[in-house]
Homo-oligomer: A and B are copies of this chain.
Amino acid sequence: MTHPLSGMEALSWPNPELLADLARLRDRSPLVHCITNAVVTNFTANVLLAVGAAPAMVVTVEEVEEFVRIASALLVNVGTITAPDADAMLEAAGTAGRSGTPWVLDPVAAGVLAYRTSVVDKLVGLSPTVIRGNASEILALNGLNGGGRGVDSTVSSVEALPAAVELARSTGAVVALSGKIDYVTDGEQIISVEGGHELMSRVTGMGCTLGALIAAFLPVSSSPLRAAATASAIFGAVGEHAATKSGGPGSFAVEFLDRLSTIGL
């Protein structure tokens, strides 16, 4: 890093700012345009509805420009990318830049597979507001070998923290680095968020869903850094609570949605 960080902060649920952001989200019900992977579309939509946002999956290149202009935020997740998806994602991200729509890039398995890595490189060049990934993905985006084998990360989040800071500085995006501890940074400040439960790694697409939740907070939080931290803290708190009430990954997902719909009320 070329210059020192200006601050480091630990965030946990609840606090007044988190509650205020959440109340604002529920009041405004931001329309979140999702171009996400086939595995998590249903759960992502249900998570956004549970928290109080309005999800819409509009995925074809013929429609994304028009819809990004209506939407409050955009999520682009490359998990099951195909060539037509790539066209739609690039068109949507380009439009978001022109229309000022904040957007989240989730570079699933970047660095593992050449095709998606090249698409992700182009997407990063279109100035995402937030990049959310695990340690392997963040290392890969920073030009390093993250050693992932897909959605799993084989290094811990703290090991990738320097790369996250550098990536934030080089791209101008807030970087949300997911792991046992989540770190969120804009290249100057780092916010760490503890929470969550290991059951979250036994339900598909929890990380993808956090990306969607960050997108939902972008229109209602005071900054992208704050949006990413708020979403991570709420996500972790809901996960912890759901784990105490569930008997395995099936009931965990059910409890997660129930709890997300009432947290802070």
Q: Contact at B39–A42, with CB atoms within 8 Å?
A: yes
Q: Contact at B150–A113, with CB atoms within 8 Å?
A: no
- Complex formed: what's the CA distance from A158 to B249 in Å? 35
- Check: A83 CB closer than 8 A to any chain B CB: yes
Q: Contact at B247–A251, with CB atoms within 8 Å?
A: no
- Check: A23 CB closer than 8 A to any chain B CB: no
Q: How many copies does the complex hold?
A: 3
Q: Contact at A257–B261, with CB atoms within 8 Å?
A: no
Residues of B within 8 Å of A152, CB to CB, are 54
Q: Contacts A50-B248, A82-B60, A256-B250: A204 and B67 contacting too (C-beta < 8 A)?
A: no
Return the chain B residue nearest A258 by Cβ: B248
- Complex formed: what's the CA distance from A208 to B98 in Å? 33
- Complex formed: what's the CA distance from A63 to B150 in Å? 12
User: Which of B39, B58, B80, B81 meets A80, CB within 8 Å?
Assistant: B58
- Complex formed: what's the CA distance from A203 to B205 in Å? 18
Q: Contact at A204–B31, with CB atoms within 8 Å?
A: no
Tell me which residues from 97 to 111 in chain A have a Cβ below 8 Å from any Cβ of chain B: 109
- Complex formed: what's the CA distance from A56 to B108 in Å? 11
CB distance from A241 to the nearest CB of B (A): 12
CB distance from A54 to the nearest CB of B (A): 6
- Check: A4 CB closer than 8 A to any chain B CB: no
Q: Contact at B83–A57, with CB atoms within 8 Å?
A: no
What 6 pairs across the A-B complex have the smallest Cβ distances? A248-B258, A250-B257, A45-B204, A250-B254, A62-B115, A56-B150
Between A and B, 14 residue pairs with Cβ closer than 8 Å are A31-B150, A39-B42, A46-B250, A49-B204, A56-B109, A56-B151, A57-B79, A60-B115, A67-B112, A202-B261, A248-B262, A250-B258, A251-B254, A251-B258
